[in-house]
Structure 1
Amino acid sequence: MSTEKLTTASGIPYTHHEDSMSAGARGPLLLQDYILHEKLAHFNRERIPERVVHAKGTGAYGTFTVTHDVSKFTRAKIFNAVGKQTRVFLRFSTVGGEKGSADTERDPRGFAIKFYTEDGNWDLVGNNTPIFFIKDPKKFPDFIHTQKRDPRTNTKSPTMMWDFWSLNPESLHQVMFLMSDRGTPYGYRHMHGFGSHTFSMINASNERVYVKFHFRTAQGIKNFTNDEAVKMKGEDPDFAQRDLVRAIDAGNFPKWTMYIQVMDEQQSKTYRFNPFDLTKTWSQKEFPLIEVGTMELNEIPANYFADVEQAAFAPAHVVDGIGYSPDRMLQGRILSYPDAHRHRIGANFEQLPVNRCPYMVNNYQRDGAMALNGNGGSAPNYFPNSFDNIRPDLSYKEPALEMDSNIADWYDRNGPGEDDHYSQPGIFYREVLSAEDKKHLVSNIVGAMSGIEGPKRMEIINRQLCHFFRADIGLGMAIAQGLGVTIDENAMKHS
């Protein structure tokens, strides 16, 4: 194997990588040792800002293959032929922990997919749950603050978490998911993924339907119990990362099947609850899963930082044939996600290899830090102009979206018709969880709520217990008993 010359970042060969230049063998170092300064200065800048949420994660490349024709719903080119393959990059993550936290923590898991399509990159940015804690983006900073660290103690605070959840009954459905064993999945390969939000699909006839995206794991669901997850936190805080890398390196490529649920526009207007509410699921009996294709992960990036840490996903990035919906949380993320990436990795984050569209890109964005694509060369940086032939292609125009109202106001997110926060959590407890799952759920909730401290402790506990009782009397009684809170069962049944 031939040797290669050691060089500076400017390509200049140098000889002393380990020894600094000094005035004599034991004298002070000299300012002219540029290699010393270059190494230390670059080292000081090796870290980019950590993601505010989803900081701890891993990722892999793979392929998405269409297995079923869904052209009656969408004209998106990614789906235009059975057997068609599209390259993807998928990043898994935990939500609340810092980059150095354990990836077996009780937490939702991010499930973000970048599809490199010929009509541009489509980012489907979801979680391993079909729902979320809140349904209005104005509440997101407050919610995340409660999942981070107490401003005085700089420690995680069960008091903050449960205070927020108890004051926001819309969070109950997701709290139930989180506190079940689904909150501690066995790595990333053994969990489902969801687009979570309601999106739209538009077909060749410009007809719109609303859809939910589901990814069902082919590896089978597997979760840690709470005790197992806590034990693994100490044994290997990078368990999920290591599990994915080892599986793919061994040729055991994980797979998921993509499904969609479809609701037409008329159904969305008359449905019994707001179908764009992120705290609700759609009934699979009423809106059955329709198979679309399979996704396989088969390549670990050669360099974690280059591809996983610098990967940037944004729900704003939809391609022709796939669109938005009135989902309020989705509307908020359309703004906040690209803004977060511009702050974290710069205005030209989409020129980085992992984020770059591999097909044609034509626009008039110029300059900014780290412009990597030739910066447009000598071509015009304005539109319209007399020198190029770049024009909007009107065949990509979406049909007009009919508004329900022309009155702008601050609508109560929990107003009439929006305030049933208990039916679906109750169904989840009674009909989805097994007897063993119910036992673990109660134990996990009791353990988590036992950490509530301070003079407001009983006020917070009682407020949250009311939510559990409204979802299911048996659930509320079991949690109250575990917390040592005396409840008049007959009074609760008639409340």
Structure 2
Amino acid sequence: MASKKLTSASGAPYFEHQDSQTVGPRGPVLLQDFVLQENLAHFVRERIPERIVHAKGSGAYGKFTVTHDISKYTRAKLFSKVGNECRMFARFSTVGGEKGSADTERDPRGFALKFYTEDGNWDMVGNNTPVFFIKDAKKFPDFIHTQKRIPKTNLKSATMKWDFWSLNPESLHQVLILMSDRGTPYGYRHMHGFGSHTYSMINKDNERVWVKFHFKTKQGIKNFEDDQAMMMKGQNPDFAQEDLVTSIEKGDFPKWTLFIQVMTEEQAKEFRWNPFDVTKVWFHDEFPLIEVGEMELNEIPDNFFAHVEQATFSPSHLISGISFSPDKMLQGRLFSYPDAHRYRVGVNSHQLEVNRCPFAVNNYQRDGAMANSSSYRDSPNYFPNSFDDITADPEYKDLEYDLDSTDVAHYNRNENDDDHYTQPGLLYTKAMNAEARENLIHNIVDSMRDISGPKREEIISRQLCHFFRANIELGMKIALGLQVNIDANMMSHSKNGEEGF
């Protein structure tokens, strides 16, 4: 078989790849050496802006299989019958670190999934935790700034983090999870994934329920303890990436079981907390897990950059039968994620292999950087028109929202919206065993010791009040570890934390 010819990007064969064209054996290089110019010009443009968050990540392809019937809740074709399958892509990541950081950092883990369904791509962009630090997207830039670096020193700061958390008690639930061993998972295969937000499902009769998505690892939960994670950061900063690649390449395909929780619209009106508040969970004894299907990852992409780095996910990428909710964080992400992709990858990033819907895409979006016209050629770029046969199918009409108010305001609190302590308290007393509680306290103390500056005592005192409100024992043990004297003011705050236990 004849060997392939070496060519330029335009397909022109050439021979001299290693030696630049010069004036004489020691003379200056000529600008006309187009191969030199093309290779260098492409080389300095090989990277795109890294993600502001979730920069360090790993990805794999796989399949999703429906194992249980949930068609009474959703008209989504994927879930229309048991046995349905679709190809999918998953990307796991840390949140705050840069692309070159260690993937065993104490940090939440991104859990982003793309399902290539016959009704379009469905993205579930979640984390390995069922809650988040804040409940309103307006706070998100400020929160992320505290997880990044101080502008002056370019160093990370425990003071910034704990200052923000102490001033935003809604973060307490997620902070306790982050500071537990769940904040340092053993790679990506041994952690659960959550949609975190409340979504909705709509069935063929146009009936809506509210849902939460849970992906439970079939490998079993496994975490690093703090000292192990710190050691691994130095030994192998790519531990989670290597663990995922190695397991798939040897045929040990990681799997997760998808469950949903379902809440009716009537139940949502009676729920103790705002059911659309991403800092809260729905208790499993009230809203039990319903098994849906299995996700399996079985293929490592053949080019990390082309697939993992250029993968774009957005919670706005939904399919008929799955829709949004009034969750404020979710509503903000519906715009912010696609906007980030248009900046970072380009307005036509959806045409790349990893993002492309493998089924029909019919619309009137044209041109822009890197436009590929192969699917539409010279067809009209406006609607309606007299030349193509693209129609808007009423089967896919959105379900209308029945809003209970027409007032427009900057709403913040309703009844029980300021209860940031009951669920974190239950997490500590009910969900954690004695060892997990001790590790949690050790990790919090270890982190808060690094708070510095003239506001140190104020920040520590404010955060301790939150811990006391959640659970007196938790507050006492952290205060003892920090060698802080407990005053009457802190103890008086703790009374609120005992309500509802």
TM-score (norm 1): 0.98
Paired residue for 1:30?
30
Deviations 1:22-72 (A, max 9, x none): 122222111111111111111110110100000000110101001100011
Paired residue for 1:328?
328
Paired residue for 1:250?
250
Assess, with a 3 A threshold, how the Cα gap between structure 1 residues 490 and 172 changes in structure 2: closer, same or farther. closer
1: CA distance between counterparts of 2:459 and 2:264?
41
2: CA distance between counterparts of 1:189 and 1:375?
37
2: CA distance between counterparts of 1:138 and 1:165?
16
What displacement does 1:491 show? 6.9
1:484 equivalent in alignment to 2:483: yes
**Partner-residue secondary structure (3-state), 1:46:** coil
Percent sequence identity over aligned pairs: 68
Paired residue for 2:342?
342
Deviations 1:401-445 (A, max 9, x none): 110211111112x45421000000000001111111111101100
Amino acid at match of 1:75: R
What displacement does 1:489 show? 7.7
Paired residue for 2:175?
175
Most deviating of 76-85 and 255-264: 76-85
What displacement does 1:373 show? 3.8
Paired residue for 1:465?
464
Paired residue for 2:436?
437
Paired residue for 1:15?
15
Paired residue for 2:424?
425
Paired residue for 1:261?
261
**Partner-residue secondary structure (3-state), 1:261:** strand
What displacement does 1:347 show? 0.7
Deviations 1:302-325 (A, max 9, x none): 111111100000000110000110
1: CA distance between counterparts of 2:376 and 2:186?
46
Paired residue for 1:5?
5
Deviations 1:202-243 (A, max 9, x none): 011110000000000000000000100010000000000000
Assess, with a 3 A threshold, how the Cα gap between structure 1 residues 391 and 207 changes in structure 2: closer, same or farther. same
**Partner-residue secondary structure (3-state), 1:312:** coil
1: CA distance between counterparts of 2:77 and 2:462?
50
Question: How many residue pairs are counted as aligned between the two chains?
Answer: 494
Paired residue for 1:240?
240
Structure 1 runs not aligned, ≥5 long: none
TM-score (norm 2): 0.97
2: CA distance between counterparts of 1:432 and 1:38?
58
Kept in 1, the 8 Å contact 2:201–2:322? The answer is yes
Deviations 1:4-39 (A, max 9, x none): 211111111111211111122222111111111111
1:66 equivalent in alignment to 2:69: no
Paired residue for 2:81?
81
Deviations 1:375-394 (A, max 9, x none): 62111100111111111000
**Partner-residue secondary structure (3-state), 1:241:** helix
Paired residue for 2:312?
312
Kept in 2, the 8 Å contact 1:218–1:256? The answer is yes
Residues 187-206 of structure 1: matches in 2 within 5 Å?
A: 187-206=187-206
Structure 2 runs not aligned, ≥5 long: 496-501
2: CA distance between counterparts of 1:226 and 1:486?
26
What displacement does 1:2 show? 4.6
What displacement does 1:3 show? 2.4
2: CA distance between counterparts of 1:26 and 1:391?
67
- After TM superposition, the runs of 4+ consecutive aligned structure 1 residues lying more than 4 A away are 488-491
Kept in 2, the 8 Å contact 1:213–1:260? The answer is yes
1: CA distance between counterparts of 2:243 and 2:390?
47
Amino acid at match of 2:464: L
Most deviating of 139-148 and 20-29: 20-29
Paired residue for 1:218?
218
